[in-house]
A and B are shown apart, each in its own frame.
Chain A
Amino acid sequence: NAGVTQTPKFQVLKTGQSMTLQCAQDMNHNSMYWYRQDPGMGLRLIYYSASEGTTDKGEVPNGYNVSRLNKREFSLRLESAAPSQTSVYFCASTQQGWGEKLFFGSGTQLSVL
């Protein structure tokens, strides 16, 4: 049972380049989330998808777009990367709702030069 799988694990981009972070879960969860984690800032929500077919902005959505491709997959796209987007990105999923246990992927370490 793989849980939440994120790809890639590491990525270096130049300013202005674009990329898509992929996330897939095999637990049949309804809700999926993208977070970024920066030193001293904790986890900050970028976007979430409460259920298949819906997406909503979180605390820090600027510069990002998401796609809930199906119930299993939720991707995060950086259209024009900026150094401020250097961070560790985590995908997470839950069965339903904010009070539920979150299952996290192992993260993507992104550097934008």
Chain B
Amino acid sequence: QKEVEQDPGPLSVPEGAIVSLNCTYSNSAFQYFMWYRQYSRKGPELLMYTYSSGNKEDGRFTAQVDKSSKYISLFIRDSQPSDSATYLCAMTGGSNYQLIWGAGTKLIIKP
């Protein structure tokens, strides 16, 4: 079993819909949780960064961490065609822990 599980998709939704992307993990030592967005033929770029449990909001994006369930989510409100990309979750315990990545979910927003 992988340390971080992420549904690869593709997930296809109409423009304007609310999108929910999720990752589950097994290591209770993880404290830092990140979402990266990767456009086709580009490197990933950091979208959201959360420490420990709780919610964090940035514009149309909300990151949610539930450490008791070992489950993290990224919500995208009012989705746009420009949000079409692969979304990668990543997490670490910090210090000497390596960053552990999900496989990525391909998201397609249909105009």
Contacts and interface: CB of A to CB of B under 8 A. Distances in A.
A97 B46 CA distance: 15
Interface residues of A, number: 20
B43 A99 contact: no
Contacts of B49: 101
Nearest to B97: A98
Interface stretch (A13-21, A38-46, A73-81): A38-46
A41 B102 CA distance: 8
A85 B36 CA distance: 24
A40 B6 CA distance: 10
Contacts of B16: none
Mostly helix, strand, loop or mixed at chain B's interface? Answer: loop
B43 A40 contact: no
B61 interface: no
B103 A58 contact: no
Given A40-B8, A105-B43, A107-B41, A99 B88 contact: no
Contact of B44 (A41, A43, A58, A97): A43
Nearest to B43: A104
A30 to B, nearest CB: 15
Given A42-B101, A42-B102, A43-B101, A97 B43 contact: no
A59 B44 contact: no
A66 to B, nearest CB: 16
Contacts of B45: 104
Given A43-B88, A90-B44, 5 more contacts: A42-B4, A99-B32, A106-B42, A107-B42, A107-B43
16 contacts: A4-B43, A40-B8, A42-B4, A42-B6, A42-B88, A42-B101, A44-B101, A45-B99, A90-B44, A98-B32, A98-B94, A98-B97, A99-B31, A99-B51, A106-B42, A107-B43
List the 9 closest pairs (A to B, CB-CB), nearest first.
A104-B43, A42-B103, A42-B101, A99-B32, A99-B94, A43-B101, A98-B92, A101-B46, A104-B44
Interface of A: 4, 40-45, 58-59, 90, 92, 97-99, 101-102, 104-107
